Chains A and B, each alone.
Chain A
Amino acid sequence: MAKAWKFGHDTDTDVIIPARYLNRSELDYLAAHCMEDADPTFAQNVKVGDIMIGGKNFGCGSSREHAPLAIKAAGIKVIIAESYARIFYRNSLNIGMPIMECPEAVLGIEAGDEVNVDLETGKIDNITKNTTFQARPFPQFMQELIKAGGLIPYVKEKQKHA
């Protein structure tokens, strides 16, 4: 059962992972403090495969890659938002954290809804409300990047076949 966690517009990287935890970069440490200042219950209650919903300009602020790393390590399968800040978007793809832009789905999904997302087709099913949304599917390059687990494994994989 993939559950939706919903956050608002301009959710910044300081809220996603506060700088007071950037003195370390271990993934389980980052995951344990993910979203702490917005919802202190998130890290304890999030389940592997859950999804995160954001508003416009998700991930604005700092360039810390720790932000998408924390969300990924917390178990979030995909982020769906109206739009993303530039550096966060790039960082997410680089570490293999799937993110989608779909304003209709953001409006049509509430916190706690049960949601199923097909990463390959971009189809988003809100099972609780019995509605369906279509995000733009990832370009081939990005699908391969995500499948490989990010930019570094992707580059290495390509080197192997070169």
Chain B
Amino acid sequence: MGMTISEKILAAHAGLEQVAPGEIINAKLDIVLANDVTGPVAIQEFGKLGINEVYDNKKVVLVPDHFTPNKDIASAEQSKILRGFAKEQQIEHYWEVGQVGIEHCLLPEQGVVLPGDLIIGADSHTCTYGALGAFATGVGSTDCAAGMATGEAWFRVPESLKFVFHGSKFQPWVGGKDLILYIIGMIGVDGARYKAMEFTGDGIRALSMDNRFTMSNMAVEAGAKVGIIAPDDITMEYVRARAKRDFKVYASDKNASYEKIFDINTEDIPLQVAFPHLPENTKSVDEASGIKIDQVVIGSCTNGRLEDLQITAEILKGKKIHPEVRCIIFPGTQQIYLEALRSGLIETFIEAGVAVSTPTCGPCLGGHMGILAKGERALATTNRNFVGRMGHPESEVYLSNPAVAAASAIRGEIVHPREVVK
């Protein structure tokens, strides 16, 4: 019996020839990740185990990105715990403010996560690394603590759902964000609960790495354990420039079994907007046209990469943000920020009237740097639009790709980019 890419990675890390959905396995971990919110709780639990050292100081990764640069005394205390532990354990992959970026943009960029890896992270969007052909999934702080101590974790081998995108032609401005929102709208926020999503077909092969990261990032928004894409030439080109250790590339067998296969025509997918308060509430941008907005947020682990900023600049070039809109852009990492600066994107943003922030998770989770007041409405390129996600429980978040967000920031209401770029 053939295996899927997810099954192969899990089997290899459990020292097994074969695994099947439903099987519980114990597997060796390549990377264990935590941040400034989940890390301190994990460190506290780690301390209770009575173990002095993490299993491998090159494989435990700590990223202070959520409330940094620290927004208040309490969050500064949390970061201090993370920093202290990183120093004490001589953690190789720890970045201080000034070098740090949003974890799921930073780790692939720095070559810390690679194809074929088995990764757990105390952050639900750890599934982003599926875009590299890694099996990566979010866990809580206690699982993370056990992983830091032992380098192992137990997994239930998930059933796989295959999403085949037929055709490599896209509607104008459509990108990875629209493909994943379209899927979530189709199957719902629990449509892939406990399962592995596998994205494939000509439509996926035509996507850049930045767009693939966006897709895998939001797999958890359908309840999935991972959103995986088998490596191809585009993956290898991205990875070869960054990898500092060996890695293995896996692909699904032709006779692998899937719980369900979804066939989608790439060209049928219009620009998507997810309405409050669930990512599954998707409509085409034309159905959202005219909805007034107070704030636009472009960035996050979903859409804070260089290509996202390039698309944004293409739309904002020579134009002004609507006077009643606050537009905030968050480059995902310092390197992305620097490249955007050198290629003139930052200048375009500032001339348009955008606030450009240092990399941080910031307002995506209602942390800081752009919190909404009661009754306010934001259009964001982030991943969640739950009640109170970006601030007051009576505020609203709509989700879209960067092109729709940038065009809407100019117009002051949700609009198709063709209305702004003539």
Chain A contact residues, CB within 8 Å of chain B: 10, 12, 14-15, 18-20, 22-25, 36-38, 56-57, 60-66, 68-69, 83, 85-87, 90-91, 94-95, 150-153, 155-156
Contact = CB atoms under 8 A, between A and B. Distances in A.
B366 A23 contact: no
Contact of B50 (A20, A87, A151, A156): A156
Given A90-B139, A150-B142, A60 B123 contact: no
A64 B189 contact: no
A93 to B, nearest CB: 9
A151 B142 contact: yes
Contacts of B389: 14, 19
Contacts of B367: 19-20, 22
A37 B388 contact: yes
Contact of B146 (A66, A87, A155): A155
B13 interface: no
Contacts, number: 131
B366 A25 contact: no
B374 to A, nearest CB: 12
A12 B66 CA distance: 19
B37 interface: yes
Given A14-B365, A156-B48, A63 B190 contact: no
A65 B124 contact: no
B163 interface: no
Contact of B193 (A22, A24, A57, A68): A57
Nearest to B120: A63
B141 interface: yes
Nearest to A87: B138
B190 A83 contact: yes
A65 B72 contact: no
A17 to B, nearest CB: 11
Given A25-B41, A91-B140, A62 B124 contact: yes
Given A10-B189, A14-B366, A37-B387, A60 B140 contact: no
A65 B189 contact: no
Interface in B27-84: 37-38, 40-41, 44-45, 48-50, 66-67, 71-72, 74-75, 77-78
Contacts of A37: 387-388, 393
B194 A63 contact: no
Interface of B: 37-38, 40-41, 44-45, 48-50, 66-67, 71-72, 74-75, 77-78, 121-124, 126, 138-143, 145-146, 189-190, 193-194, 220, 223, 225, 278, 365-367, 371, 384, 386-389, 391, 393
A4 to B, nearest CB: 22
Contact of A155 (B49, B72, B75): B49
Q: Which 4 pairs of residues, A with B, have the shortest CB-CB distance?
A: A91-B140, A65-B140, A57-B190, A94-B142
Given A14-B389, A63-B138, A94-B143, A56 B124 contact: no
25 contacts: A10-B189, A12-B387, A18-B388, A18-B393, A20-B371, A22-B67, A23-B67, A23-B74, A23-B78, A25-B44, A37-B387, A57-B223, A60-B223, A62-B123, A63-B121, A63-B124, A64-B38, A65-B142, A66-B37, A87-B140, A90-B140, A91-B139, A94-B140, A150-B142, A152-B145
A114 to B, nearest CB: 29
Contacts of B50: 156
A24 B122 CA distance: 16
Contacts of B78: 23-25
B193 A95 contact: no
Nearest to A153: B48
A23 B72 contact: yes
Contact of A85 (B41, B44, B45, B190): B190
Given A19-B367, A57-B193, 18 more contacts: A14-B388, A15-B386, A18-B366, A19-B389, A20-B366, A24-B78, A57-B189, A57-B223, A61-B386, A63-B123, A64-B37, A64-B38, A87-B124, A90-B143, A91-B140, A151-B146, A152-B48, A155-B146
